[in-house]
Amino acid sequence: MTRDTQSSTPTSASNSSAQPLVSLKNVNKHFGELHVLKDINLEVARGEVVVVIGPSGSGKSTLCRAINRLETIDNGEIRIDGKELPAEGKALAKLRADVGMVFQSFNLFAHKSILENVSLGPVKVKGMKAAAAKELSMSLLKRVGVDNQAQKLPAQLSGGQQQRVAIARALAMQPKVMLFDEPTSALDPEMINEVLDAMVALAKEGMTMIVVTHEMGFARKAADRVIFMADGQIVEQATPEEFFTNPQSDRAKDFLGKILAH
Amino acid sequence: MEDYLSLLVEYDVLGAFWVNIQLTLWAGVWALLLGTVLALMRISPIASLQWLGAAYVNIFRNTPLTIILAFGFLGLFGQLGFTLAEDLNVSLFRIAILGLAIYHAAFVCEAIRSGVNTVPLGQAEAARAIGLSFMPAARLIILPQAFRGAIAPLGNVLIALIKNSTVAAAGSVAIETSTVMKEMIEFRSDVIYPIFFTFALGFVILVIPIGLLTTWASKKLAVAR
């Protein structure tokens, strides 16, 4: 019976669940002479949490930023939910609204209150009514534990609080996938966990996530798959358990040896 | 001294300053609008608009204001018969405003661009990442912060504009300060120094508060990061 439905409606089946939510095919990018992304192939399934790790300059941030076209690529193909990334204009803006992004340096709108930071997207991009957007924003701020700061400006909050607001701001667009570009790298050590906790909670709720990070603890706890990048290539990918206990490549062994030594 | 004071009754010095203030206010508003459009063009992702904005700035910033205003009077009005009002004097006044605005828009554009440079790139990236396209991102996120970072340089443009409004004499606006001053000196060269001093002082009194105000405002309104 299952077989029948699949064969009778092959397109709809491939459009809904079988098809990866994010797919990169033969993606290449250069920064001048430097080949930062070398023939990257990657598929991320709906609900999957993929953690990208690797040494500095390995291209992992560029990979993350290419997925919503904050970095353009030289060639190859990037698809979100089956649709190829448009080059520019309204179509690109529309697609970006479906891809949440959390930056290393938070990038909250400095002249807007915390509440406005979160509600701006729903109102200005999605045309949501102000009252509904406020309600949505407050519930998201509550979820990440900063609802009591709603009227303040970003500069009045700690780094950890700002990053949690940034997560709420991205969630307010009800994205299909969330990109995290080293979300804890600019934080004081005592603030890292409050952000990671919010991310773990999000992963548990089934959000599709691509997370560039140095937090191995987060990778172990929340990742479905770990991708190890070096020199612009995906060198190795495995479940966190496999990767951390039994890395295959010398490059990964060397990297893990250095960061897990103490 | 009495000679000099009688001169102030004969000539409408305050009225002359009022003309320069009006020239400044009108030209300032138009220059701000045009300069903002130019700045948007220069930061836009469209290459031809960037080029056009840059060309405008480089042409008008590097042309002497006297030539622009003389062209407005002799070229636009004199040769082409271009007018902006029925009344001759009103028309010349408006043509002078046009010339002042066109010239100062180039400087306003560069002042705003310096303000845009105070806005970290991450602000634009975050705006794009939530799905705002160029114009909404510029209007909601970039320009509001850029203006607050550009208050001091915009104040400098305004100060230059007030003083440059005297060049409207080249556009044959006859009742503004530099023309009135010239007439007063021609008729009463015996009190030439007090006359110079009066007009210099008038401009200092106009300009100093602007400097103080913009310095205060640029601190007060600075975006906390």
The candidate with the shortest Cα–Cα distance to A113, out of B199, B224, B38, is: B224
State the residue range of the domain holding B64.
Answer: 2-221
Q: Chain B within 8 Å of A155 (Cβ-Cβ)?
A: yes
CB contact under 8 A, A93 and B122: no
State pLDDT tens for residues A41-100: 999 999 999 999 999 889 999 999 999 999 999 999 999 999 999 888 888 999 999 999
Note the pLDDT of residue A17. 58
Q: Which residue of B has its CA nearest to A95?
A: B131
Residue with tokens 């008729």: B187
CATH number at residue B37: 1.10.3720.10
Integer Cα distance of A166 and A164 in angstroms? 5
DSSP letters along A111-150, please? Answer: TS-HHHHHHHHHHHTT---HHHHHHHHHHHHHHTT-GGGT
State pLDDT tens for residues A205-258: 999 999 999 999 999 999 999 999 999 999 999 999 999 999 999 999 999 988
Q: Chain A within 8 Å of B182 (Cβ-Cβ)?
A: no
Q: Chain B within 8 Å of A88 (Cβ-Cβ)?
A: yes
Interface A-B, measured as beta-carbon pairs within 8 A, has a size of 74
DSSP letters along B135-149, please? Answer: HHHIIIIIHHHHHHH
Task: Determine the average pLDDT of the residues in B189-212.
Answer: 93
Note the pLDDT of residue B174. 81
Which candidate in B130, B135, B151 is best for mutational testing of the A interface (most A CBs within 10 A)? B130
Q: Mention every residue, 6+ apart, whose C-beta is less than 8 A from residue B217.
A: B151
Under the banding of pLDDT at 50, 70 and 90, the label for residue A11 is very low
State pLDDT tens for residues B56-102: 999 999 999 999 999 999 999 888 988 898 898 999 999 999 999 99
Q: Chain B residues with CB inside 8 Å of A119's CB?
A: none
Q: Chain B within 8 Å of A174 (Cβ-Cβ)?
A: no
CA distances from A169 to A82, A117, A146 (A): 25, 6, 12
CB-nearest to B125 from A89, A97, A107 is A107
pLDDT score of B183 more than 50:
yes
CA distances from B140 to A107, A109, A199 (A): 15, 10, 28
The total of structural domains in chain B comes to: 1
CB contact under 8 A, A170 and B128: no
pLDDT score of A14 more than 50:
no
Q: How far apart are the first and last CA of chain A?
A: 55
Lowest mean pLDDT among A12-21, A111-120, B212-221: A12-21
Residue with tokens 């924003």: A137
CB contact under 8 A, B126 and A96: no
